Structure 1
């Protein structure tokens, strides 16, 4: 019985950490003209330095959000939020739309030809197009 409980605890721990190992991809609407982007281009949208596309963020507590900002913008999610807060306060931008998970990002990006978002590669379907894969 103890071995079974230990195995279940290990399985639960592994599955709880699985999102941290997800492959993060940046997606745009399937009909968007962009076919690929550089890390720097993506970072411009998610740090408020370009308004050519509308960023869609995952929720603050999302492990994927933390991983995305670390890998793509070289900042942690709280640093990015501080940059956005400053832009909003000065009237230069509005905060990115925030959604709960990869499926919600996919739906938001599929519904808006100017949207850009990030999600787990496993959640990609034909309604969005991958333009960047985080290393």
Structure 2
């Protein structure tokens, strides 16, 4: 009886540890030359969900997105916009079909997003916090 209880406790502890590892901290990044110091989740959501194409600094935003099915992308949209991947896909299908907006530029990896943002003063993207270095500036943490 006691062995079963210990095994259950160990399994539960393992699952909690795995879930914490799976949920890496996502940060919104901009070019280090950008005048932006911070943004709210609502402002970021408006850009990535096609409600605006302008950064708070007044320049046209160049958003960079990770591919569908990427865990960081799912976490980003869940925390910034409160949307699931299927809701994001449906929103962009509707906006694209109606000609009202163009979806963010989809890049293959987080390294590609960081490189794009680092080379474009109007770019905005998101990556795991652990990947941030001097080539980009974090302006919002979504933990």
TM-score by length of 1: 0.83
Q: Which residue number corresponds to residue 14 of structure 2?
A: none
Unaligned runs of 5+ in 2: 1-16, 55-60
Listed one character per residue, the Cα deviations across residues 17-52 of structure 1 (whole Å, up to 9, x for unaligned) are 84x321100001111111100111111111101101
**Is the aligned partner of 1:50 residue 2:58?**
no
Aligned length: 122
Residue deviations 1:76-116, cap 9 Å, x none?
Answer: 12211211121111112212111122211100111211111
Task: Give runs of aligned pairs for residues 34-113 of structure 1, distance below 5 A.
Answer: 34-52=36-54, 53-113=61-121
Instruction: Structure 1: state its 5+ residue gaps.
Output: 1-13
**Is the contact made by 1:45 and 1:54 (CA closer than 8 Å) also made in structure 2?**
no
TM-score (norm 2): 0.78
Larger radius of gyration: 2
Q: What is the root-mean-square deviation of aligned Cα atoms in Å?
A: 1.9
User: SS in structure 2 opposite 1:55?
Assistant: strand
**SS at the partner of 2:126?**
strand
Q: Is the 8 A contact 1:85 1:95 kept in 2?
A: no
